[in-house]
């Protein structure tokens, strides 16, 4: 035990407390050591929020470099600051027994601001900011950086109502505020309150020395929390919280993911038998993803990552998550639909042959009359989804085709009689009515719904656009140029797109999901 272990640490009061705690415990095991303080980039750059520095491990990177250069033997960190994947050649040597993992609100005067619409709270953490805004959406959050003492001074010198701190940090430097509230509802950062020691992978002496310092229960809990963080692909740029707790023979893991503004929150908690908890983090992440977590993560990434694909129809969570993870997507409705109230007499006077080419027309029918009162003899429609909706809500479909032209060609040969009622929109396509008119089939057109164009100017980063009808193309071109790739839902839409776009791709099936698959294949 003649070797003197060089302990690398940041030079803040909190970091030195942690390093001295490790030094004391090593001494109790009979090992000699010396402290080697350094300044990290996170300590030197205080005028930017952490997530804007663009560096993984902003508080640990300097010590990692010092260790790899042979200037220190071990490094001591607040575990929540350590990236979930350590640099090659560096390993976790020990986790000390965890301190208080809770977040604390230090405030001035009184607590009345918690019940008021306006208040100013300071924090440099996206996680704390998002959770606070989720609970108090009308409050203002200001950025707060620096060591514990510096942040305490800033709270005193500003007109803020309060600031959020880690309870463990306050306790370790002996800093007490007159007024504090424990934020028991706030899910802490993964591994908050824990101190970790790292060493070189091939330094057996230092690793063996630190082995006696390891607290197994804390190691199990922090490993789960950091695995949850890693699987969510989070870090300083995503509002993610996680907390694992062992009670008797069980271990529970709570995880939370929020949007940066706090408006969206997905929280999950699972419990497992201790010893059979290996997949607990995976189970939590899977539940987060099943409730829209992938889309939320892509939205968070979109704060810094510009979209390259745009959908002219607002995407659902499930649809947005169908895109390959490397494709940043945005969406908006370029067509606004409003259902019309169809008079009962008009519906009852409809011909025995009825033509429906969209689900919107079906919805208008259902909204206008009790479906049991509809006595349509023959219903002809376009699209499988429209067929399913009709048969679920109105009655049996006599025949359907995948496009309006194909249905028109069928009707020319098979329609029973020479008249039909056509439930359509105010800007329906001419193809079907024209073909039927040429063959002397008379249509009574009933305007079931109104279609209004709602164009949006898309970002310059957009390289491809998803179109679902000729109307969406027309609406898009009112505000945008045609120098993008057009991904179309069907032949009718593609035919219109080819009049304006040089690159047009058509989905194999006339479904939105098929268009998304087309985009994914194009970006492979």
Active site residues: 81
Q: How far apart are the first and last CA of the chain?
A: 56
Evaluate whether 2 touches 23 at the Cβ level (below 8 Å).
no
Evaluate whether 488 touches 400 at the Cβ level (below 8 Å).
no
Q: Listing from the earlier edge strand, what are the strands of the sheet with 335-339?
A: 335-339, 442-453, 419-425, 353-356, 378-382, 399-401
Evaluate whether 469 touches 493 at the Cβ level (below 8 Å).
yes
Instruction: For tokens 């399913």, name the residue.
Output: 388
How far is it, in rounded angstroms, from Cα 513 to Cα 510? 9
Task: Give one DSSP letter per residue of 189-257, joined into a string.
Answer: PTTTT-EEEEEETT-HHHHHHHHTT--HHHHHHHHHHHHHHHHTT-STTS-EEEEEEEETTEEEEEEEE
How far is it, in rounded angstroms, from Cα 139 to Cα 151? 20
Residue 261 CA: distances (Å) to CA of 27, 128, 183:
47, 11, 19
Rounded to whole angstroms, the maximal C-alpha distance in the chain is 104
User: Could you tell me which of 89, 86, 73, 78 has the C-alpha nearest to residue 26?
Assistant: 73
């Amino acid at each position: 035990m003649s070797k003197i272990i060089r302990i690398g640490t940041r030079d803040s009061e909190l970091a030195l407390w942690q390093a001295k705690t490790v030094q004391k415990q090593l001494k109790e095991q009979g090992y000699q050591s010396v402290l080697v303080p350094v300044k990290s980039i996170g300590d030197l750059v205080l005028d930017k929020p952490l997530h804007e520095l663009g560096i993984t491990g902003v508080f640990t990177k300097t010590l990692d470099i010092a260790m790899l250069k042979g200037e220190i033997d071990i490094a001591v960190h607040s575990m929540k600051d350590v990236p979930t994947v350590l640099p090659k050649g560096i390993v976790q040597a020990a986790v000390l027994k965890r301190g208080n993992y809770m977040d604390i609100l230090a405030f001035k005067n009184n607590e009345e601001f918690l019940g008021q619409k306006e208040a100013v709270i300071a924090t440099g953490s996206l996680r704390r900011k998002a959770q606070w805004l989720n609970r108090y959406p009308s409050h203002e959050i200001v950025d707060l950086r620096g060591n514990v003492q510096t942040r305490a001074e800033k709270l005193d010198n500003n007109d803020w109502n309060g600031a959020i701190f880690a309870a463990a940090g306050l306790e370790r430097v002996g800093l007490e505020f007159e007024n504090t509230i424990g934020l028991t509802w706030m899910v802490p950062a993964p591994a908050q309150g824990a101190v970790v020691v790292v060493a070189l992978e091939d330094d057996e002496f230092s690793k063996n020395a630190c082995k006696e310092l390891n607290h197994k229960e804390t190691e199990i809990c922090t490993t789960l929390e950091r695995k949850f963080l890693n699987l969510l692909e989070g870090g300083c740029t995503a509002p993610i919280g996680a907390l694992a707790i062992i009670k008797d023979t069980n271990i529970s893991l709570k995880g939370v993911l929020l949007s940066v503004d706090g408006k969206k929150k997905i929280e999950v908690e699972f419990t497992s038998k201790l010893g059979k908890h290996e997949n607990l983090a995976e189970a939590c992440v899977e539940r987060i993803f099943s409730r829209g977590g992938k889309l939320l993560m892509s939205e968070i990434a979109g704060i810094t990552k510009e979209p390259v694909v745009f959908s002219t129809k607002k995407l659902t969570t499930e649809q947005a998550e169908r895109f390959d993870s490397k494709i940043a997507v945005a969406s908006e409705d370029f067509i606004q639909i409003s259902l019309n109230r169809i008079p009962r007499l008009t519906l009852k006077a409809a011909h025995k042959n009825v033509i429906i080419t969209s689900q919107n027309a079906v919805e208008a029918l259902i909204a206008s009359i009790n479906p049991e009162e509809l006595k349509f003899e023959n219903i002809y429609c376009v699209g499988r989804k429209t067929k399913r909706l009709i048969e679920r809500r109105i009655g049996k479909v006599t025949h359907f085709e995948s496009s309006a032209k194909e249905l028109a060609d069928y009707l020319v040969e098979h329609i029973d009689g020479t008249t039909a009622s056509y439930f359509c929109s105010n800007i329906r396509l001419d193809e079907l009515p024209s073909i039927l008119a040429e063959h002397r089939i008379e249509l009574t057109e009933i305007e079931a719904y109104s279609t209004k164009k709602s164009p949006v100017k898309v970002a310059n980063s957009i390289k491809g656009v998803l179109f679902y009808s000729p109307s969406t193309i027309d609406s898009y071109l009112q505000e945008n140029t045609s120098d993008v790739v057009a991904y179309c839902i069907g032949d009718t839409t593609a035919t219109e797109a080819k009049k304006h776009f040089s690159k047009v791709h058509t989905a194999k099936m006339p479904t939105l999901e098929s268009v998304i698959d087309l985009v994914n294949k194009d970006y492979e």
